[in-house]
């Protein structure tokens, strides 16, 4: 009888030892983890209920069925970092380690180990002797990257000129292209017509 009483007292401790603290939101599981929100920070729990990625404020939210929360896809989750008023995007893995530094002007979630991002290119074209500053211009390109951040394909080889200043770039430029299969992407041209091209 004593053994049974001890077991009954111990079971609730083991049953509830894995539960997390009070949370404001719990997302559905995706890629074997679920996003959880506490105050204004997000983290992730595993299928045992343990916090696998501590709460942080740089995770990018994705809209799914009317709800906004961060997700992992292909072991990658979007993060953002603001530098001089401009938002840049990168990715972490399920350990919370940054695997692709925030350097893109916009980025989408991974799908089949590839993602659409806006790659920023800065080029120095001269020097302003009066101001003693280099003269630079900025362009961004829609590109497809692999899970390590390597560029697989440029979708708009001409690029789009951009003035890199928070007064003119208060939100990320839109990504127009769409990955429609593992090997195909649709991109809008200057005439606002869609064309299909191979990713490979």
Q: Are residues 62 and 89 in the same domain?
A: no
Residue 196 lies in a domain: no
Judged against a pLDDT cut of 50, whether residue 12 lies above it is answered with no
Per-residue model confidence (pLDDT) at position 166: 86
Q: Are residues 34 and 105 in the same domain?
A: no
Per-residue model confidence (pLDDT) at position 8: 40
Q: Are residues 116 and 35 in the same domain?
A: no
DSSP β-ladder status, 86-92 and 184-188? unpaired
Number of separate domains in the chain? 2
Residue 17 lies in a domain: no
Judged against a pLDDT cut of 70, whether residue 19 lies above it is answered with no
DSSP letters for 75-94: TBEEEEEEETTEEEEEEE-T
Instruction: Find the domain containing 51 and state its range.
Output: 22-72
3 class by beta-carbon count within 10 Å (0-12 exposed, 13-18 middle, 19+ buried): exposed
Residue 148 lies in a domain: yes
Judged against a pLDDT cut of 70, whether residue 7 lies above it is answered with no
Please provide the average confidence, as pLDDT, over all residues in the chain: 87
| Residue 1 confidence class, pLDDT cut points 50, 70, 90 | very low
Q: Are residues 80 and 111 in the same domain?
A: yes
Q: If residue 6 lies in a helix (H) or strand (E), which one and from where to where?
A: helix 2-16
Per-residue model confidence (pLDDT) at position 53: 96
Q: Are residues 148 and 97 in the same domain?
A: yes
Average pLDDT over residues 154-171: 89
What percent of the chain is modeled with pLDDT above 70? 86
Q: Is the dihedral of CA 144, 65, 60, 23 positive or negative?
A: negative
CA distances to 105, 168, 170, 172, 185 from 85, in Å: 12, 10, 8, 11, 31
Q: Are residues 55 and 92 in the same domain?
A: no
**Residue 169, token pair as written in the block:** 């770039």
Judged against a pLDDT cut of 50, whether residue 119 lies above it is answered with yes
Judged against a pLDDT cut of 50, whether residue 15 lies above it is answered with no
Judged against a pLDDT cut of 70, whether residue 199 lies above it is answered with yes
Output helix, strand, coil percentages for the chain, rounded to the nearest 5.
10, 50, 40
CA nearest neighbour of 115 among 64, 77, 83, 80: 77
Q: Are residues 146 and 164 in the same domain?
A: yes
């Amino acid at each position: 009888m004593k053994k049974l009483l001890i077991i009954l007292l111990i079971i609730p401790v083991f049953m509830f030892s894995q539960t997390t603290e009070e949370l404001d939101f719990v997302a559905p599981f995706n890629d074997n983890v679920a996003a959880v929100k506490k105050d204004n920070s997000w983290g992730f729990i595993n299928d045992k209920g343990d916090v696998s990625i501590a709460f942080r404020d740089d995770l990018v939210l994705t809209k799914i069925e009317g709800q906004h929360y961060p997700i992992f896809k292909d072991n990658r989750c979007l993060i953002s970092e603001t530098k001089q008023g401009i938002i840049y995007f990168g990715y972490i893995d399920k350990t919370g380690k940054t695997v692709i530094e925030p350097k893109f002007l916009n980025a989408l979630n991974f799908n089949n180990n590839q993602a659409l991002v806006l790659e920023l290119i800065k080029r120095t074209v001269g020097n302003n002797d009066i101001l003693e500053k280099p003269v630079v211009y900025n362009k961004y390109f829609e590109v497809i990257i692999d899970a390590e951040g390597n560029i697989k394909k440029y979708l708009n080889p001409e690029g789009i000129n951009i003035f890199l200043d928070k007064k003119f770039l208060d939100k990320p430029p839109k990504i127009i292209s769409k990955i429609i299969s593992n090997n195909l992407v649709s991109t809008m041209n200057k005439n606002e017509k869609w064309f299909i091209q191979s990713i490979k």
